[in-house]
Amino acid sequence: MFSKILCAVDGSQHALEAARVAGQLAKQLGAKLTFLTVTKELKVTQEVKRYMEIEHLTGEPQYVLDEYTERVMQEAKDAARAAGVTDAKTEVKTGQPARVIITTADAGGYDAIVIGGRGHGDLEGLLLGSVSHKVASLAKCTVITVR
């Protein structure tokens, strides 16, 4: 059925659940599993600097983002490991999330994309359409949306 599964994660609860489902699917089907997170270009605005100051975050803003990305990927790999998948791969890319997810799936020959129904961009999703909706509408492979 599926031999290569791409699971998009962003640190949200829906994405963590998607990671669990992707891990279970990969284990049951003997499929290869890759976790993908997509970051946006980081613009160091005064708001970002102020946020870092308030939250007592030190270092360059990109370093803070890298720490967050690392944590997101570790949580996804832990979810897969709990399902019995020990060889999940990870990829981090920058760009528009839906577009990057779709092009990664196409280029990598993935059979399925597993994605959370709602991520961190709730307001943007309400106004412009959610990433999961865009991926489900435009992907050439099967898309499993997890809630």
Q: Is the residue at 57 inside a domain?
A: no
How many distinct structural domains can be found in the chain?
1
Q: Are 58 and 118 in contact (CB under 8 A)?
A: no
pLDDT of res. 7: 98
> Of 32, 30, 9, 21, which is closest to residue 109 (Cα–Cα)?
32
Give the number of C-alpha atoms closer than 13 A to the C-alpha of residue 5, restricted to the C-beta side. 29
Quote helix, strand, coil % in the chain, to nearest 5. 50, 20, 30
**Residue 94 lies in domain:** 4-40+76-146
- For residue 16, tell me if it sits in a domain: yes
Report the CATH number at residue 9: 3.40.50.620
pLDDT of 78-126, one tens digit each?
999 999 999 999 999 989 999 999 999 999 999 999 999 876 555 444 4
Q: Flag whether 123 is in a domain.
A: yes
**Could you read off the pLDDT of 19-78 as tens digits, one per residue?**
999 999 999 999 999 999 998 766 667 776 777 677 766 555 555 567 888 899 999 999
Residue 58 lies in a domain: no
pTM for this prediction: 0.82
Residue 66 lies in a domain: no
Compare 141 and 39 and report the one with higher pLDDT.
Answer: 141
Q: Within a domain: residue 136?
A: yes
